Chain A
Amino acid sequence: MTAPALHTRNLVKTFGGFTATDDVSLTLAPGARHALIGPNGAGKTTLVNLLTGVLAPTAGAVFLAGEDVTGLGQHRRVRRGLARTFQINRLFADLTVLESVALAVGERRGVGWRVWSPVGAQGEVLDEAARLIETLRLADVAHRRTRDLAYGRQRLIEIALALAVRPRVLLLDEPAAGVPTRESRALFETLAELPRDMTILLIEHDMDLVFRFAERISVLVSGAVLLEDTPDVVATHPLVREVYLGEATHHA
C-alpha cells in the first residue's frame, strides 16, 4: 500500500484561547482532487499554513508521502514537493513576470546559489519558465513588472510560482479570488489540465467550480472537519445546506 501524498493526524492550532484548527485528520491520496470548503473564518487558510509549515501546530502531526514533516521549516517542505498559492497575492512587485517565474524555476533546479553567470544565461531555466508562462497565457506581459498588471493577471503569476516548484502536492488557497469570472473559467481549465499524478487540495468559495473540479470534498466549520465525502453527497447533505445558507452567494 502506498502512503497518502499528504495526511495529518489530529492537528490542532490555537491562538490564545481561540481554536482555529480543531483536531483535523485529513488524508489526500496520491493524485487526489480534493476540495476544502467552509464559511469565512472556518480555518481553511490556517490549515494550509499548518500543512506548509508557516505555522507550527499546537498539537498533532503533518506527513508528506508518509514522512513526518511537522518539525521541518517551510522551505524544506517545498523541497520535498509541497507547494501552495496564497489567498492574497504575495509577489515580487518590481520583478517582471519572466524574472519572477525564472526565479522560482531556478530555485527548484538548484541554480539559486550561482553568482557568476547571469540569469539570462540559464538556458534551461529560462526555457522552462517561458513554457510555464505560455501555459498560463501570460506571454504577452512576460516583460512587464508585476506591479503594472491587473490583479487578475497577477493571480496567474501566483499560480505559476507554485507550479514552478513542480509540486507533488499543490495547495490552492482560493486561486480565483479577485479574478474576473471570464478569466477564472480559463484559470480552472488550466488547473484541470494539470498532471493527474499531482495531488491537489483546492480551497474555493464558488461551488460551481468546486463541484466541477473536486472528486472529494471536506467541509470545515469552526476549525473542525464537519464531513468528508464525494461532491454528490456533500451537495445534498442537510448539515452543509445549514452551514452554507446564504454563504455561497455571499463570497462569489
Chain B
Amino acid sequence: MDSRSPDSLSPGPDAAAATPAPATVDLAPLRRAARPRWPELAVWLLPVAAWFLLPEDLALLTQIAIMAIFALSLDLVLGYAGIVTLGHAAFFGVGAYAAGLLAAKLGIGDPLLGLLFAAAVAALAGLVTAPTVLRGTGLTRLMVTIGIGMMLFEAANKATDLTGGVDGLQGIEMTPILGLWSFDLWGKTAYVYAVVVLLVLFLIARRIVHSPFGLSLRALHMNPARMPALGVSVDARLAAAWVLGATYAGIAGALLTQTTQFVSIDVLGFERSAEILLILVLGGAGRLYGALIGTIVFVTLHHVLAGIDPEYWQMWIGLVLIGIVLFARNGIMGAIDPFERLLARKKTEP
C-alpha cells in the first residue's frame, strides 16, 4: 500500500455513483508510445557533432558505432528476450569471417553484399544454435553459450588455411559503397557507413520492440511461465529473438572486417562477449538507448583512462563500472527512468 491507496481501491458497484473514476480507457497514450521523442534526436546529433569536432578520431568513432550495433544485438537477446549469454561474440565473429572470406577468397568486395551475406550466415548460425541454447535455463544456458563461443574460437584457430588462424585474415579488398564511395585513408567513408548502418539497424530494432512481437518479448522476460497460459509458444519467440540478435551481431562483425580490411581471431574471443555484456549492463539493458549510451560511455572511459594511466586503466575502469552498477542498478538509462515515468504520468493524468 502506498500513499495513493484511496484511488487504488476498486470503486465497487455501490460506490461507482459516488466516485467519478474514469469508466472508459483512454487509448491515446499507448497510441503515442512508439512516436519519436526529442531527446532521441539529440542522441542522433552526437555522431554528426563528432564528425566536425573530432575529425582526428574517426577510426575510434567508427569502432564505437560498430560496438553500438553489437550492443544493440545483445540488447535484443538479453535486454528484451531475457536470454543471458556470454558467447555473443560467436555471431560477431561469424559475421566478421563471413564478410572477410567473401572478399578475400571469393573476391566479392561489394560492402553491402558483404553485409547481407554476413547477416545471412550469422542468422543461420543463430538458427542452428537456438535449440541447444534455449533447451536449458539459467546457468545451464549460460554454460552452453560460453561453450559455443569457445568451440567457434578453436575452430577458427585450427582452420588456418581458411582464417589465417592467429595471424588473422588478410587480403580483404573493398570496392566502393554502391559503386560511389570508396574507403579512404582518413576513415571518413568508413565512419559514415558505420553510422548509417547503425541508424538503419536502430530504427528497425525500434520498430520491432514497439510491435506486438516486441511486447511479447518484454512480457516473456518478466514472466515466462505465464506466456503459455496466453497461448504463446515461448520457445518460438525466444528462438526468433535469438536469430534476430545473431543477425545484428553478424552485421556488426562484418562492418569491423570491412572498415579495417582485416579479421583478427579476437572477433571470436571470450573477452568480446564479456565486454559487450558489461557495456549493455552499464548503459541499461532492455532499453535500446542503453546499448548506445553504454557503448559511448565505455569506449570513452576506456580511451580517457588508458590515456591517463596506460598501465592500470583496466583497474580504474573496473572501479568506475562497479560504482555505476551499484548506484544505478539498471544502468545509466535506468537512472533516468523514474524521471521519465514522472513526466509520462503528468501527461496521462492531467
Contact = CB atoms under 8 A, between A and B. Distances in A.
Contacts of B5: 150
Contact of B218 (A95, A117, A140, A152): A95
A214 B348 CA distance: 41
B229 A83 contact: yes
Contact of A75 (B30, B210, B214, B233): B233
Interface residues of B, number: 50
B29 interface: yes
B211 to A, nearest CB: 5
A133 interface: yes
Given A103-B230, A116-B207, A92 B8 contact: no
Contacts of B53: none
Contacts of B13: 185-186, 189
Chain A interface size band reads: 35 or more
Interface in B215-234: 215-216, 218-219, 222-223, 225-234
A128 B160 CA distance: 60
A131 to B, nearest CB: 8
B42 interface: no
Interface string A96-107: 101110111011
Interface stretch (A26-34, A118-126, A219-227): A118-126
Nearest to A83: B229
Contact of B10 (A53, A86, A118, A156): A156
Nearest to A114: B212
Interface stretch (A56-64, A141-149, A204-212, A239-247): A141-149
Contacts of B30: 96, 98-99, 102, 119-120, 126, 143
Interface in B1-53: 1-2, 5, 7-13, 16, 21-27, 29-34
A120 B2 CA distance: 30
Mostly, the B contact residues are: helix
Contacts of B231: 75, 78-79, 107-108, 165
B5, B9, B11, B228 pick with most chain A CB within 10 angstroms? B228
Contact of B211 (A90, A91, A119): A119
Contacts, number: 176
A117 B8 contact: no
A118 B33 contact: yes
Interface in A111-169: 111-122, 125-127, 129-130, 133-134, 137, 139-143, 148-150, 152-153, 156, 161-162, 164-165
Contact of A186 (B10, B25, B31): B10
A172 to B, nearest CB: 13
B12 A90 contact: no
B127 to A, nearest CB: 16
Contacts of A100: 219
Contact of B22 (A84, A86, A139, A153): A139
Nearest to B222: A92
B34 A107 contact: no
Nearest to B349: A143
A215 interface: no
Q: Quick one: which of A74, A106, A121, A152 has the most chain B CB within 10 A?
A: A74
A107 B232 contact: yes
A162 B231 CA distance: 10
A183 B27 CA distance: 26
A149 B4 CA distance: 10
A129 B212 CA distance: 14
B208 interface: yes
B229 A111 contact: no
Contact of A153 (B8, B219, B222): B8
B213 A120 contact: no
A107 B23 contact: no
Contacts of A114: 211-213
A73 interface: yes
Contacts of B226: 86, 90-92, 161
Contacts of A78: 228-231
B37 to A, nearest CB: 14
B346 to A, nearest CB: 12
Contacts of A70: none
Nearest to B16: A137
A21 interface: no
Interface in B302-321: none
B215 A103 contact: yes
A122 B12 contact: no
Interface of B: 1-2, 5, 7-13, 16, 21-27, 29-34, 207-208, 210-216, 218-219, 222-223, 225-234, 237, 348-349
22 contacts: A74-B228, A75-B234, A91-B223, A92-B222, A95-B215, A95-B218, A99-B215, A100-B219, A102-B215, A103-B216, A112-B237, A116-B211, A117-B212, A119-B30, A119-B215, A120-B27, A126-B30, A129-B25, A140-B7, A142-B26, A148-B8, A161-B229
Given A129-B25, A133-B25, 19 more contacts: A75-B233, A91-B223, A92-B219, A98-B25, A106-B212, A111-B212, A115-B214, A116-B208, A119-B211, A121-B34, A134-B23, A134-B25, A137-B10, A140-B11, A140-B22, A143-B349, A148-B2, A180-B9, A185-B13
What are the nearest 3 A-B pairs in CB distance? Answer: A74-B228, A118-B34, A78-B231
